[in-house]
Amino acid sequence: MTVPRCARDAVSQRCNCCPRILLGMTMTTAAPRAIDHARMWSGPGRATALPSIVVDDRALVAFRRRRVVALGALASRQELDGERLVSAYDLAERPWWIPAAAVWSDADGDGRPEHPWHVGLATDTSWHRAVLVGLSDRLGWEAKRALDRGLVLGRLDDVDPDVHGTVWDGRLGHEVPTVVITSDNVERWGAGVTAGSAYRRALYGDQGTADAARQLADIELVLATSGIDVGVVDLATPLMARAGVARVSVQLLASTHDPVRRWDAGRLE
């Protein structure tokens, strides 16, 4: 096959059989800017360590192991246990081992889990606000779950006279003010130090609470009288950690585990 001359010498020859491609260019007098493409495209390194995960194979003894209240079981206080454990802290910064299945939906799979439960999961630039929002979501969601299952909840008619819907008292075996708001178009829930603050958090979100640390401490004390402690698992990504953003999974800690139960302390990478 003979190659047309215009294809061999497209620079010097102008012919209709070889269409030319015109490229537009914008010129600027600004100095060129150096870009570190390796830094832009490489995977981010983690600023803080991922929470440790261990597997129970009866090799060692866990002295700081705790069960947690299972999702949707606050009314019955059913406790969750499991073979895989993740490191958590209570609000006094004491370390505990809790079931990984309470934090991730894929905790029983091979390798490190990647899909946390949405209940109790919260993100904020303030650690205290993140924990407060996650705890509010967990307590409110538990009440909504119980309402859906047919549990009779009391009505709160004096929280807001202008509310378009029904406000339910969501306290399930504890005295932390918790509300569930239901109407034809929306369902919301939240908890706070008063019924009014729980109602506002349910309707409008956290709205940047300034005294989150004090509110969190007050709610912790009230829950403790009912035998519940607050547990926190750090789930911040590397980028979040470097930017000072907290991402937490808030858990309801139940009883301590029998200290003779054995587990393997080998970490999963």
For residue 142, how far is the Cα from the chain centroid?
Answer: 16
Instruction: Give pairs for 244-247: CB < 8 Å, separation 24+.
Output: 244/125, 245/123, 245/124, 245/125, 246/123, 246/124, 246/125, 246/126, 246/127, 246/130, 246/131, 247/121, 247/122, 247/123, 247/130
User: What mean pLDDT is reported for the chain?
Assistant: 79
What is the distance in angstroms between the CA of the first residue and the CA of the last residue of the chain? 60
Tell me which of 12 and 220 has the higher pLDDT: 220
Name the residue type at position 219. Answer: I
Global pTM value? 0.76
Q: 221 — alpha (psi -120 to 50), left (phi > 0) or beta?
A: alpha
Q: Which residues contact 21 (CB under 8 A, 6 or more apart)?
A: none
CA distance 246 to 236: 6
Q: Give yes or no for a contact between 100 and 152, defined as CB atoms under 8 angstroms apart.
A: no
Are 203 and 212 in contact by the 8 Å Cβ rule? The answer is no
Q: What is the CA radius of gyration of the chain?
A: 28
Q: How many other C-beta atoms can be found within 10 angstroms of the C-beta atom of residue 159? A: 19
Give pLDDT tens digits for 45-103: 444 466 777 776 555 445 688 999 999 999 999 999 888 889 999 999 999 999 999 99
18 vs 131 pLDDT, higher one: 131
